[in-house]
Structure 1
Amino acid sequence: MLEDADPAIRHIIERKIRTSREAMARLDKMDLELLDVMMASGDDLTGIKLNEARKKYGKAIEERYGYTFPQTQYAAKLW
Structure 2
Amino acid sequence: MLGITQEELAEESGVGRASINRLERGMEGKTRTRDAVQRALEARGVRFIGASKDSAGGVLLPPDPARPAALEATRPD
TM-score (norm 2): 0.29
Normalising to structure 1: TM-score of the pair? Answer: 0.28
More helix as a share of residues: 1
**More strand by percentage:** 2
